[in-house]
Structure 1
Amino acid sequence: MRSNRPYKSRYAAMFWSVVLPGFGQFYNRDYFIGIMLLMLEFIINLKSHLNLVLVNTFNGDLQLAHQSVNYSWGLFYPSIYGFAIWQAFNSAKANNNKLEGKGVEKRTYLSGFFLGLVVGMDFGLFWHDSNLIKIIHLLDYPVFNGVLFGLILGLIGNLLEQKIYRKHKRKTKQ
Structure 2
Amino acid sequence: MSKLEAVLWNIAFPGFSQLLLGQYIKGILFVTLEVIINVYSRFNTAIMYSFLGEIEQAEAVINYQWLMFYPCVYMFSMWDGYRSVMPDNEKYSFLPFVFSAYFVTVGLMVSPKVTIFHIHPGPIFLPMLFLIPGLLIGFLIQSILSLKQKK
- TM-score in terms of structure 1 length: 0.81
Looking at structure 1, the residues matched to 76 and 91 of structure 2 have their Cα atoms a distance apart, in angstroms, of: 12
Contact 1:14–1:88 (Cα < 8 Å) also in 2: yes
Q: Work out whether 1:128 is the aligned partner of 2:121.
A: no
- 2:39 is aligned to 46
* Unaligned stretches of 5+ residues in structure 1: 1-7, 98-104
Percent identity reads 30
Looking at structure 2, the residues matched to 138 and 27 of structure 1 have their Cα atoms a distance apart, in angstroms, of: 40
Letter of the aligned partner of 1:52 in structure 2?
Answer: T
Contact 2:92–2:145 (Cα < 8 Å) also in 1: no
| Higher gyration radius (CA) | 1
Looking at structure 1, the residues matched to 119 and 20 of structure 2 have their Cα atoms a distance apart, in angstroms, of: 35
* Unaligned stretches of 5+ residues in structure 2: none
Looking at structure 2, the residues matched to 108 and 73 of structure 1 have their Cα atoms a distance apart, in angstroms, of: 32
Deviation at 1:137, TM superposition (A): 4.5
Deviation at 1:13, TM superposition (A): 0.9
Looking at structure 2, the residues matched to 108 and 30 of structure 1 have their Cα atoms a distance apart, in angstroms, of: 23
Contact 1:28–1:92 (Cα < 8 Å) also in 2: no
Of 118, 136, 141, the residue aligned with 1:155 is: 136
Q: Work out whether 1:164 is the aligned partner of 2:135.
A: no
- 2:23 is aligned to 30
* Matched position secondary structure for 2:22: coil
CA RMSD of aligned residues (A): 1.6
Structure 1 segment 15-164 matched on structure 2, within 5 A:
15-93=8-86, 105=88, 108=91, 110-130=93-113, 133-138=114-119, 140-164=121-145
Looking at structure 2, the residues matched to 54 and 42 of structure 1 have their Cα atoms a distance apart, in angstroms, of: 15
Looking at structure 1, the residues matched to 61 and 8 of structure 2 have their Cα atoms a distance apart, in angstroms, of: 29
Corresponding pairs, count: 151
Looking at structure 2, the residues matched to 168 and 161 of structure 1 have their Cα atoms a distance apart, in angstroms, of: 10
Q: Give a deviation string over 1:28-77, Cα, whole Å, max 9, x none.
A: 22111000000000000001000010011011111111111111100000
Looking at structure 2, the residues matched to 76 and 143 of structure 1 have their Cα atoms a distance apart, in angstroms, of: 14
* Matched position secondary structure for 1:134: coil
- TM-score in terms of structure 2 length: 0.92
Deviation at 1:109, TM superposition (A): 5.0
